[in-house]
Structure 1
Amino acid sequence: MAGHEVKPEDVFMDEAMVEKAANEQNSHQKGEEINFSQVFEIRLAYRNILNIDNLWDYTSLTRLDLNNNMIKIIDGLDHLIHLKWLNLSFNQIKKIQGLQSLQKLDLLNLSYNRISVIENMDKLEKLTHFSIAHNLLQQLDNVRYLRQLKGLFSLNLFGNPLCEEDDYLLFIAGYLPNLTSLDSRIIHQETKNKASIKYHDDIEKIKHEELQLQQALDAEQREKAERQLHKDAFVEFLNGSYFFKSMLKDDPEAETLHCVTGVTDLLQKYPLILGFLIIHQMVALCTQLFEIGLTEHERRKTEIKSFFSGLNQTFKFYQQEALQIVANVDQQHKEVGWETFYHILSKQVQSLNLLLQISNTNSPVYTFLEDCTVCRDLEDNYYLNMQKIAVETLEKVAKDDLEEDIPDDVKILFTDKDAVMDVLTTSHDNHLLKLYNRETQLITDVNAWKAATIEGVGSGNGFRANITCFVVQCSTSTPYAPGLIYLFIFFVFMCYFRFKRHSLSRVVCASRTHLDMQSI
């Protein structure tokens, strides 16, 4: 703390202090090292602590008591996302801050501090008990800030200057209708009724404003969710005319060229070979891609969900059958049923085949590439017609035979043929670059999704957890189990790694050969 002279009784909250408190206050075997991530409560009251620090490892904390210290700033709590109880009473805090991450907080005690404004609590949506007694709150209107905390039903403001206001009780009861307790006293329904009548007009106005704000927030959330959906479907900004307009927007000389007679008509009315207008055709292509992308996104979600569900169910079922085979080995005196065991394991391959459908995401990609080719054809037609109009305009300017008025800067540009053609070429190149970049973006995003999905199959909720469980169950069941376990692991992991190379059929052949050799 810059400029603070540390007194003999002042204490910094270091790692040793926190660790000692965690060991003393949480039950564990004597001599056993405590797991910080499994500590749920820490109490460090009456320690003359100056700061909140060194709590990074205690990510599971649900209760933290730091009352009766010398803390001035609320910080160092960002990672305590599971905290439900926070007691910072009897400190020297002047400002409410640093609570944004504590979205599960149920009780907050800031009594006996130096706080003058209630603020920065909008993320505490689950707060039910709030005590800020004996602080420096003076503005009764400031309490209305707490209206956004819909779950708050117990509030303690006792000992603040605002409590001396004549309408204190009615004001709180009127503007915070969900409260049931104020300053440790029950708010009776009669009081709420009086408050509702007294502040009816103001409260209705506030409700209207809150409704408008909530509607705006809801609309923003819907737009955000929609953008994310479009991104997940790889079709962001392809609905409507956005993409076409973005191509024209980046033309360095677009405005100048559009002043020439015929260019505007070309943009809006130029008929193409297919009989569509250039803008309408571009938009139609983008809309088609957009709809295909959304449809494919839903199909992928359904297939992935179905795959993991089927994989888990299939594994559990045949795991039991495999365990039964292992148990039968003892009874059959090493006469292992290789054919039956192979049949069971091959069922796992059938479930893996479903995931190969991920590779079929190439189909909509090819559709997109085909449409990009059509878009390039449209752009080429547009470019050629722009050239024709430019040549005609150059000839008219050279002959001083312009029938219409155009800006002087456009006339000057069209006195230089090379400059005009350079502008057109640059414009054409920019349009093609836009198409190329969007094409590359979609292919990159699809490939990244495929890689991440396939990689996810080999992680926790795919093979590893199930195989680990199977090995543990088999390892002690019979002296002949290791052979079956090794074969099972070999079979499944070979399937997985070969699957990543899209060669599942060769895996089946290789595994069959291996099984046949073992049976011989």
Structure 2
Amino acid sequence: MNWLYDSVEPRVMDEDMLKLAVGEQGPRDEAGQLARQEGILFKDVLSLRLDFQNILRIDNLWQFENLRKLQLDNNIIEKIEGLERLVHLVWLDLSFNNIEAIEGLDTLVNLEDLSLFNNRISKIDSLDALVKLQVLSLGNNEISHMMNIIYLRRFKDLRTLSLSGNPIAEEEDYKMFICAYLPDLVYLDFRRIDDHMKELAEIKHQYGIDELKQRENLIQAQLDDERAQREELEEHKAAFVEHLNGSFLFDSMYAEDVEGNKLAHLPGVSELLQAYKDKFVIICLNIFEYGLKQQEKRKVELDTFNECVQEAIQENREQGKRRIAKFEEMHLLSLNAIRDESEVTNLEMKIAEHSKDITELFNMLMTLEMQLVEQLEETINMFERNIMDLVALFIENVQSLMAQCRDLENHHHEKLLEISINTLEKILKGELDEDLPYDVRALFVDKDTIVNAVGTSHDLHLLKIDNREDELVTRTNSWCSHLVDAIHKDEIMRNRRRVKEIHQYVDHVQNELDNLECSEIID
């Protein structure tokens, strides 16, 4: 089964090999000569054949970013690697190599046909990203466990499977098991599966399939729940208020607060801390709910803006199309009239008149474009003011709510300091009835020590609040800035494309006239 090294020395997949392969597989005749003269860019190559090259390692394919088909069969490749950038790959042949494990395919999300025939693979795995997989060839490998078949159930589009030549194919229940657990499969080992075989397989393995489906449904429900949570988190992030719909910020304040956690053992602090937490969480929830409402307002503003822009562009284009359609009719009539004209004087006059018509068309189209530019500039400026006002209002109100969090922290700090000093006095007088942990008592050496401990806890809490506020403000402003910049850049690019289109069209009709004029002169 193994593809052994032959007498030829292993080769490196270098630039020279790739250029040679691209050149040999490129277009022929005149097109091929032109391509060889100008050179073929690797990014333009859609299909590449590198079979029988004695390649040991896959490398230097990163420039083939638009490759659809890659043939690497009949080499001595030992590891699947170097394919990360080939995200558009649809067909991949790695048959007749020395590959021992399936790996390195995580980015090939568009792959439909994969051949790993005649290698050394013993386990089917690491194919999860290949959601479009339709054809899988794994014949002549070392796969021996039937549980590998269960793994393939996740590929809903899989219709063709080859496993002949593996130890698994020698199992008595081989075909029945595969037909039962992969019911959508159409071809197995290059032969079509008949419906009768599928019915028998389903009956034979009914209990196992039902049990497996139940487990799969539970797993799928869990995955759906996790996906819903991720989507919800992304929505919260888009509103800049993620993790503010609960006690996350409060808990983070105490997660690294050694002194604060020690001081929580003091008499009366537990109740004080709970009251503080309840009020703090309410403010966080207010920020969270306000953030979602403001995000919806920003979304409505952006959607309205995009609709206005598209309507303006569409209306402007319709005007241009009507003018061009009217010109096209006149253009054909003028060209025919010029062709039919035999008098030189009249011919020159008609050519001059039509040249003037073309110039007028150009001026008219450019005027329309300038009108659109001015209209969109006004719309963009208005949107920019509106979105910046919304962002400024959002930040202002959030900062006000964050200030309330700081006020709560300051109040809690004062109360905690008061309790701590009272506790210190009781300890010094021997009047403290409660037993405190040793590390807590160690804080009550003197007033400076306990004041420093309470102050350290307080500073850490304020830092957490400040950091969360700074993060929210920074991200919100950054989002607004990037959005406005992107809108301005998009408009600049749109204008350039439109001007280019106008020039190309006018040049085209002018060339038609010029070519006609030349032919008339020659005649």
Give TM-score, length-normalised by structure 2. 0.81
Tell me which residue corresponds to 1:194: 200
Q: Deviations for 1:169-216, whole angstroms, at most 9, x for unmatched residues? A: 111111211212111112222222222222222222222222222222
Deviation at 1:142, TM superposition (A): 2.4
Judging changes above 3 Å, is the alpha-carbon distance between structure 1 residues 430 and 6 closer, same or farther for their aligned structure 2 residues? farther
Deviation at 1:289, TM superposition (A): 0.7
Tell me which residue corresponds to 1:315: 313
Select 2:165's aligned residue among 159, 168, 174.
159
Deviation at 1:283, TM superposition (A): 1.2
What is the letter of the counterpart of residue 24 of structure 1? E
Tell me which residue corresponds to 2:19: 19
Q: Deviations for 1:303-348, whole angstroms, at most 9, x for unmatched residues? A: 22332342243135346768969x99957999x9999998765423
Deviation at 1:410, TM superposition (A): 3.6
Deviation at 1:232, TM superposition (A): 1.8
Tell me which residue corresponds to 1:243: 249
Where do 1:358-369 residues align within 5 Å? 358-360=387-389, 361-369=391-399
Judging changes above 3 Å, is the alpha-carbon distance between structure 1 residues 333 and 14 closer, same or farther for their aligned structure 2 residues? closer
**Structure 1 unmatched runs, 5+:** 269-276, 479-520
- Greater shift, 184-193 or 344-353, is seen at 344-353
CA contact (8 A) 1:26 1:41 kept: no
Paired with 1:110 and 1:343, the residues of 2 have a C-alpha distance of 60
Deviation at 1:263, TM superposition (A): 1.0
Tell me which residue corresponds to 1:170: 176
Deviation at 1:462, TM superposition (A): 2.7
Select 2:482's aligned residue among 447, 452, 455.
452
Where do 1:172-321 residues align within 5 Å? 172-268=178-274, 277-318=275-316
Where do 1:86-125 residues align within 5 Å? 86-125=92-131
Tell me which residue corresponds to 1:484: none
What is the letter of the counterpart of residue 12 of structure 1? V
Paired with 2:277 and 2:285, the residues of 1 have a C-alpha distance of 12
Deviation at 1:409, TM superposition (A): 4.3
CA contact (8 A) 1:315 1:466 kept: no
What is the letter of the counterpart of residue 91 of structure 2? W
Tell me which residue corresponds to 1:501: none
What is the letter of the counterpart of residue 137 of structure 1? I
Tell me which residue corresponds to 1:430: 460
Q: Deviations for 1:348-373, whole angstroms, at most 9, x for unmatched residues? A: 33322123222121101100111111
Judging changes above 3 Å, is the alpha-carbon distance between structure 1 residues 332 and 70 closer, same or farther for their aligned structure 2 residues? closer
CA contact (8 A) 1:239 1:286 kept: yes
**How large is the RMSD of aligned CA atoms in angstroms?**
3.0
SS at match of 1:351: helix
2:52 paired with 1:54: no
Paired with 1:68 and 1:303, the residues of 2 have a C-alpha distance of 58
2:33 paired with 1:30: yes
SS at match of 1:64: strand
Tell me which residue corresponds to 1:414: 444
Select 2:502's aligned residue among 461, 466, 473.
473
- Greater shift, 151-160 or 64-73, is seen at 64-73
- For this pair of structures, how many residues does the alignment match? 464
2:422 paired with 1:392: yes
Percentage of matched positions with identical amino acids: 36
CA contact (8 A) 2:117 2:141 kept: yes
Deviation at 1:164, TM superposition (A): 1.5
SS at match of 2:70: strand
CA contact (8 A) 2:406 2:465 kept: yes
Paired with 2:318 and 2:459, the residues of 1 have a C-alpha distance of 63
SS at match of 1:50: strand
Judging changes above 3 Å, is the alpha-carbon distance between structure 1 residues 93 and 399 closer, same or farther for their aligned structure 2 residues? closer
2:378 paired with 1:350: yes
CA contact (8 A) 2:158 2:185 kept: yes
CA contact (8 A) 2:313 2:372 kept: no
Judging changes above 3 Å, is the alpha-carbon distance between structure 1 residues 94 and 390 closer, same or farther for their aligned structure 2 residues? closer
Paired with 1:340 and 1:455, the residues of 2 have a C-alpha distance of 25
CA contact (8 A) 1:69 1:91 kept: yes
Judging changes above 3 Å, is the alpha-carbon distance between structure 1 residues 36 and 397 closer, same or farther for their aligned structure 2 residues? same
Paired with 2:375 and 2:450, the residues of 1 have a C-alpha distance of 68
Deviation at 1:6, TM superposition (A): 9.3
Judging changes above 3 Å, is the alpha-carbon distance between structure 1 residues 387 and 107 closer, same or farther for their aligned structure 2 residues? same
Q: Deviations for 1:52-97, whole angstroms, at most 9, x for unmatched residues? A: 2221111111111122222222211111111111112222222222
SS at match of 2:237: helix
Tell me which residue corresponds to 2:79: 73
**Structure 2 unmatched runs, 5+:** 328-353, 508-523
Deviation at 1:467, TM superposition (A): 3.1
Deviation at 1:387, TM superposition (A): 2.0
Deviation at 1:43, TM superposition (A): 1.4
Deviation at 1:294, TM superposition (A): 1.4
Select 1:85's aligned residue among 91, 94, 98.
91
Select 2:493's aligned residue among 464, 473, 485.
464
Tell me which residue corresponds to 1:505: none
CA contact (8 A) 2:106 2:129 kept: yes
Judging changes above 3 Å, is the alpha-carbon distance between structure 1 residues 475 and 107 closer, same or farther for their aligned structure 2 residues? closer
SS at match of 1:253: helix
SS at match of 1:95: coil
